[in-house]
Chain A
Amino acid sequence: MDEKQRRVDEVRRERSEVENHLIDEYVLGRITRRELVRRGTVLGMSIPLLSFVAAACGGDDDDGAATATGDGETTAAGDVQPGGTIRVALIQPTTEPNPLLVQDEGGAGMLGSTGEYLSFSDENLALQPRIAESWEPNEDGSVWTFAIRQGVTFHNGATLTANDVVETFEKLINPDGGSANAQSALGGVLTPGNIEAPDDATVVFNLDAPNGSFPTLVSSANYNAIIIPADLDPADWGQTFEGTGPFKLQNFTPQVGATFVRNDAYWGEKANPDTIEVKFYAEEGPMVVAFQGDEVDFVEHFSVAGGKALLDNPDVQVIGIQTATHRQLHMRTDKEPFTDKRVRQAIGLSIDRNALVDGLWEGRADIGNDSPFAPVYPSTDTSVAQREQDLEQARQLLADAGAEGFTVQLDTWDGFEIPDLAQLVKNYAAEIGVTINLKITDSATYYGDGVFGNSTWLDSVMGITDYGHRPVPNVYLTAALGGDPKVGVWNSAHFKNDAYDELVRQFVAALDVESQKGIAKQIQELLLDETPIIFPYFYNFLSAAKPNLLNAVSAATGQFDLSKAGFTA
């Protein structure tokens, strides 16, 4: 015990103040081991170090990775045969394979097949080093220094240097033709020209403002951010799928699929499978059928609705990752009848969230509490009271606001379970006397040009929008609810609240979990009171694997990692 204590003290002496603070919280039992690992890796601490600290310092031993339904977060681990071909079903990308243009899961899957990121955001939201070996912030988190791994080569033989990293990010955040997606994560955080490579093995990011979560924003969670050669035009990436990953491209046919083979010059442990065959499917139904018909071994992503056959089959390995993927039901705070927050609260109170989670997601989702703070985030304060269905109170609120029995149109589009959610919301509203008329179109019509005045999404009085997973809630807090039009570009509720904006600014800058949680609590309570947007649930990312396929890993953003996967004998 003494020896251990001595070693722990030594470790702590070498750690920064922020990191020590994190260890303190763990020792005091304020965060779980899992959160320690998560938060620690973001700060740049290595996993072996964190494991040592966790073991030495006791604390809450919440190791459980299983969700309530008992789904694993990866496939069962075990011994696999070397080699083999793994066939993957992936949703068809909607754009050409260009790291700047990719905007959906299918595209992300393609990028991640051969490309690598600075780090990989795993199912615990912890960051595993890849191209970056380690990283650390300065005192206040406004400058982040990344140590770039040496001896890494691209599939074409060229050696990777820090310059490639710099150029990759410069291209991504270039205001004149960068990646809209990457920009949504890094906008207001990093400005072009502020990335330096003092030598071949170091990259320094000079941020616009202190940001405690910066490493996640340049990890695999920002799926466009694969590191590509500095001299490669992203528009040409689709010809060779140039990257540094454990697999390289053999061939690619648009709308059909792609084949990848093991990269024997990989810097890390060589991949186990010989070949990965990816097939594209325009829709989920055929994907599920193909899996049942033994045409594929792994389905990257399936939904509860479309994959009922898979869920009901005990032989199928269902991998479920807890995520922050959600839907936002917005109500325009600047338009009748939603100008009065009591009306908005009433709608929030009319919804039976438990029924939604059990009915729409078979329990494979977390209940939302009308804020972007998903239960999966360590920064979420779970002590805030959970809003439950209360029709009585809802009706009372409507009466108080003098807004009984109104009619409103709800706009949305026909993807995923959104039409189902819309119809259920319509029925819940009917129970408190509100009539909702549904107008469900397709995503192009709903999103329009994505700018105020030219987008049903941003202009509608009431709508449902889908949001993909992010490793930290920052962009939800700023873009979807920010009052400044330059920041709140996704603010469909037209929410404007100065107290809120100030709290968010503080949250983003906070480096340690405790202060983050403290601010989060205030934000959560403010949003519950104002309810500009209803967050009914955060659902799990589901993948399916054949029972004999082990070690397959999925990421909630659409990439998959099969480097250690293989079939049992």
Chain B
Amino acid sequence: MTIVEEQAAPIAIPVRDEAQIARRERVRLLFRSPAFVLGLVILGFWVVCAIFGTLIAPQNPQADDILGKLTAPSADHLFGTDRLGRDVLSRVIVGAREILIMAPVATLLGTVLGTAIGLVTGYYRGLVDEVVMRIVDALLSVPVIIVALLAITAVGPSRRTLILVIGIVFGMIIAKTVRAAVLSERELDYVQAARLRNERAPYIMFAEILPNVMGPVVVEFTVRLGYAIFTIATLAFLGFGADPSIPDWGTDISESYQFISAGVWWAVLFPALAIATLIVAINLIADAIAQTFER
């Protein structure tokens, strides 16, 4: 094309491409943020641990040495040994796997659930909306931990229960946000246009509105991911984890905590720092993403 033609033709950029450009712009902005990069690096480190943990770990995280239990960090065991003589460093490395499987799955479940509920209640409004929202509010008036605790006590501790419970509770929270977004979207022209075209409600909700609320949805996902890790670790610490031989940061802390008064700090400190760094990383990422959407 010649320059003249380029300038002359009124280019009506389709909506999809506009969104694509915006997305690329956002990504570029993200990588300029030092907080985001730092978060990504830390997260990346833990993901590598989760995937290749058993190869990287210096020792078998389940191998016990009961006579060598609770020894301080040394050349043989850089992070010391725990109550059964297992190598804490290895358990910290391999422990990333548990949480990095459960948390994203739970969050994904919650996001899907919450988005669906938010779309439906936001679009239909009326009685359905009122009733569902009241129930959601009722559930949310009790702290997440307690709801999760009750559910786990009822159904028994297992990976599946944990994921389901957190997924459902977070779904409620996300539903509120998505609903709010949908409420403002549904008044816009393109929704009216679709209605006039006699499109069916599901189509309008999922094909028209959903792409335009993806922003808040993505933000919610990343924020909730941090909370999921937080909640799962807390529940494990309270003793609601499943199998204590499988390395898991929260469970390991809860098992080693009682030895603090005897001066054994390593079995607790290192998994705690692992949790802290992972959550901070996720939140740095989440925050950066949220900010790009704000701009």
Contacts and interface: CB of A to CB of B under 8 A. Distances in A.
Any A–B CB pair closer than 8 Å? yes
Interface of A: 284-285, 288-289, 292, 305-306, 308-309, 312, 355-356, 358-360, 414, 419-420, 422-424, 426-427, 437-442, 445
A118 B100 CA distance: 60
Given A424-B66, A427-B63, A419 B261 contact: no
B244 A359 contact: no
Contacts of A312: 262
A309 B63 CA distance: 25
A288 B245 contact: no
Contact of A438 (B244, B259, B263): B244
Given A437-B243, A438-B244, A289 B66 contact: no
B245 A438 contact: yes
A419 B252 CA distance: 12
A441 B155 CA distance: 11
Contact of B157 (A305, A420, A423, A441): A441
A439 B84 contact: no
Contacts of A420: 83-84
B73 interface: no
A359 B67 contact: yes
A423 B263 contact: no
A438 B67 contact: no
B215 interface: no
B70 A308 contact: yes
7 contacts: A305-B259, A308-B70, A419-B255, A422-B245, A423-B62, A423-B84, A440-B242
> Which 10 pairs, one residue from A and one from B, show the smallest C-beta to C-beta distance?
A359-B66, A309-B262, A308-B262, A285-B258, A423-B245, A309-B261, A438-B243, A359-B67, A419-B244, A289-B261
A205 B114 CA distance: 69
Contacts of B245: 422-423, 426, 438
Given A312-B262, A427-B63, A439-B243, 5 more contacts: A355-B66, A423-B84, A423-B244, A423-B245, A437-B243
B66 A440 contact: no
Nearest to A427: B64
B262 A440 contact: no
A149 to B, nearest CB: 44
B84 A358 contact: no
Contacts of B216: none
A359 to B, nearest CB: 3
Q: Could you tell me the dominant secondary structure of chain A's interface residues?
A: helix
Contacts of B153: 442
Given A427-B64, A437-B243, A306 B84 contact: no
B58 interface: no
A440 B83 contact: no
Contacts of B244: 414, 419, 422-423, 438, 440
Contacts, number: 63
A78 B281 CA distance: 61
A419 B258 CA distance: 14
Contacts of A439: 242-243
Nearest to A355: B66
Interface in B199-256: 239, 242-245, 255
B83 to A, nearest CB: 7
B156 A285 contact: no
Nearest to B246: A438
A423 B258 CA distance: 18
B261 A423 contact: no
A419 B255 CA distance: 10
A44 to B, nearest CB: 44
Interface in B250-292: 255, 257-259, 261-264
Nearest to A303: B258
Contacts of B242: 439-440
B70 A285 contact: no
A445 B259 CA distance: 27
B290 to A, nearest CB: 39
B64 A288 contact: no
Contacts of A424: 64, 66, 84
Given A306-B258, A420-B84, A360 B66 contact: yes
B261 A292 contact: yes
A445 B153 CA distance: 9
Nearest to A357: B66
B63 A284 contact: no
Nearest to B158: A439
B259 to A, nearest CB: 6
A360 B62 CA distance: 17
Contacts of B66: 355-356, 358-360, 424
B69 A359 contact: yes
Contacts of A292: 261
B1 to A, nearest CB: 67
A254 B265 CA distance: 34
Interface string B36-63: 0000000000000000000000000011
Contact of A308 (B67, B255, B259): B259
Q: Which of B239, B244, B257 has the most chain A CB within a 10 Å cutoff?
A: B244
Nearest to A358: B67
A505 to B, nearest CB: 39
Contacts of A422: 244-245
Contacts of A419: 244, 255
Q: Which of B243, B262, B263 has the most chain A CB within a 10 Å cutoff?
A: B262
Contacts of A426: 245
B152 to A, nearest CB: 10
A88 B138 CA distance: 44
A288 B84 contact: no
B260 to A, nearest CB: 8
Contact of B263 (A309, A360, A437): A309
Contacts of B264: 308
A359 B243 contact: no
A255 to B, nearest CB: 19
A358 B84 CA distance: 12
B162 to A, nearest CB: 14
